[in-house]
Amino acid sequence: MKSSLRIPSHHWRMAGVGAFIVAILFPQYGNTSPMAVQRKVAKPNEVKLTAATVTLHTTDDDKEKDTAASLYIKMNDGTVVALIENIKSYFKNNATSTVKLKIVTPIPKSSIQGCTATVKTTRLKGHDAWQFYYEIEFAFSDRSRMKKSCSPVVIGENDLKVCPL
């Protein structure tokens, strides 16, 4: 005797209705597309980075104008958060300069802790050593501010220094 499995058509319709109800009531089970996953993770009211400035305090040895300096704020995974590249201004001894950073990745406020600040210099000819310390001020979407400081450093041409924030 041959047996075949037959499911009445009204059962198929009920299964479709059931899947629809599950998708409406429990959307996390119904849609796993990248956009749906991103929407679940995103926190709309989370305080985000909106601006940053760096104040450079040159001490006993200036930065010459033919030495280009760049500053990168990075997360532990290497993601660039903010930057300024190829500053060619002359920073004289015992002077202070403030520069606005470009925000690349507007990270949550809580993620600033654990980032690093990297200053890199490039000079094609000659020699230069620059002595300075710096402060970075972060501004956030809730209008709060946070300052982080990096201790005095001496940086030569074609060099880089990293400061944990």
How does pLDDT run across 58-96, given as a tens digit for each residue?
999 999 999 999 999 999 999 999 999 999 999 999 999
Range of the domain at 15: 11-41
Higher pLDDT, 21 or 163: 163
Tell me how far apart the alpha carbons of residues 134 and 145 are, in angstroms, rounded to a whole number: 16
- With contact defined as beta carbons under 8 Å apart, do 66 and 121 qualify? no
E strand or H helix at 89: none
On whether residue 5 sits in a domain, the answer given is no
Same domain membership, residue 65 and residue 17: no
Burial annotation 14-49 (CB, 10 A radius, 16+ → b, else e): eeeeeeeeeeeeeeeeeeeeeeeeeeeeeeeeeeeb
Count of the separate structural domains present in the chain: 2
Same domain membership, residue 94 and residue 117: yes
Q: Which region among 88-97, 106-115, 125-134 has the lowest average model confidence (pLDDT)? A: 125-134
On whether residue 1 sits in a domain, the answer given is no
Predicted pLDDT at 41: 39
Same domain membership, residue 33 and residue 81: no
How does pLDDT run across 4-62, given as a tens digit for each residue?
555 555 544 545 544 444 444 444 444 444 443 333 334 778 999 999 999 999 999 99
Predicted pLDDT at 72: 98
Predicted pLDDT at 127: 85
**Residue 158: which CATH number?**
2.60.60.20
Tell me how far apart the alpha carbons of residues 121 and 130 are, in angstroms, rounded to a whole number: 9
Task: Name 120's bridge partners.
Answer: 70, 160
On whether residue 4 sits in a domain, the answer given is no
